[in-house]
Amino acid sequence: MNTRVIKACVLRGQWEEALWLGEGLAATTDTSGSFGTLIMETEQRGMLPTELSLTHRLSAAARCGDFAPELADVLELSPSLRAEAEHSSSGVPPTTPAALLAALGPRIGLEVVSRPTGRLLPYQRELLLLREVLAKAKPGSPARVARVLDAAAEASFSWAKFAGGSKAAALLAAMRGGPPTDTSRSASEPSAGVLEIGTYIGNSALRLAITLPGVRVTTIELDPVLVAIARSLIAFAGLTGFVSVLTGHSKLLLPRLQAHLAATQGYKRRPCFSAVFMDRWGTQYDEDFALIQEHGLLQEDGGVLVADNVLTTAAASFLWRVAAPGSGSSEAFASQIASVTEVADRSKEDWVSVSVSLPNSRSATIAPQPDALARLQAESEKLREIVTSGGSSGDHPDFVPRARATLVHAGIFPMSYEEDTWTEPQASDDQQEDGGEAVVHMGQQPGRQQQQEKEKEEEKQDVEKEEEDVIGY
Tell me what pLDDT residue 442 has.
Answer: 38
> How many of the other CB atoms lie within 10 Å of CB of 461?
10
- Give the whole-angstrom CA distance, residue 293 versus residue 285: 12
Helix extents (H) in 324-398: 371-388
Specify the 3-state DSSP secondary structure of 339: strand
> CA angle 10-12-15, nearest 5°?
40
Q: What is the pLDDT of residues 193-232, one digit of tens each?
A: 999 999 999 999 999 999 999 899 999 999 999 999 999 9
Q: What is the pLDDT of residues 37-92, one digit of tens each?
A: 899 999 998 898 989 999 998 988 888 888 878 888 899 889 888 888 777 655 45
CB crowding 303-340: b at 16 or more within 10 Å, else e: bbbbbbbbbbbbbbbbbbbbbbbebebbebbbbbbbbb
Specify the 3-state DSSP secondary structure of 105: helix
pTM of the model: 0.81
**Contact between 310 and 414 (Cβ < 8 Å):** no
- Between 442 and 103, residue with greater pLDDT: 103
- Judged against a pLDDT cut of 60, whether residue 413 lies above it is answered with yes
- Judged against a pLDDT cut of 80, whether residue 286 lies above it is answered with yes
- Between 265 and 159, residue with greater pLDDT: 265
Question: Is the domain covering 158-410 a CATH 3.40.50.150 domain?
Answer: yes
The residue type of 329 is S
Helix (H) or strand (E) holding 168: helix 165-177
pLDDT grade, residue 239 (50/70/90)? very high
- Judged against a pLDDT cut of 50, whether residue 279 lies above it is answered with yes
Tell me what pLDDT residue 160 has.
Answer: 59
Q: Stretch 336-348: mean pLDDT, rounded?
A: 79
Q: Stretch 131-158: mean pLDDT, rounded?
A: 84
pLDDT grade, residue 4 (50/70/90)? confident
> How many of the other CB atoms lie within 10 Å of CB of 134?
22
- DSSP 3-state helix, strand, coil percentages of the chain (rounded to 5)? 50, 10, 40
Tell me what pLDDT residue 249 has.
Answer: 92
- Give the whole-angstrom CA distance, residue 436 versus residue 427: 7
Tell me what pLDDT residue 336 has.
Answer: 92
- Give the whole-angstrom CA distance, residue 103 versus residue 98: 9
Q: What is the pLDDT of residues 367-410, one digit of tens each?
A: 999 999 999 999 999 999 988 876 565 567 789 999 999 999 99
**Average pLDDT of the chain?**
78
- Give the whole-angstrom CA distance, residue 72 versus residue 297: 35
- Judged against a pLDDT cut of 70, whether residue 109 lies above it is answered with no
- Judged against a pLDDT cut of 90, whether residue 243 lies above it is answered with yes
Tell me what pLDDT residue 470 has.
Answer: 34
Tell me what pLDDT residue 421 has.
Answer: 44
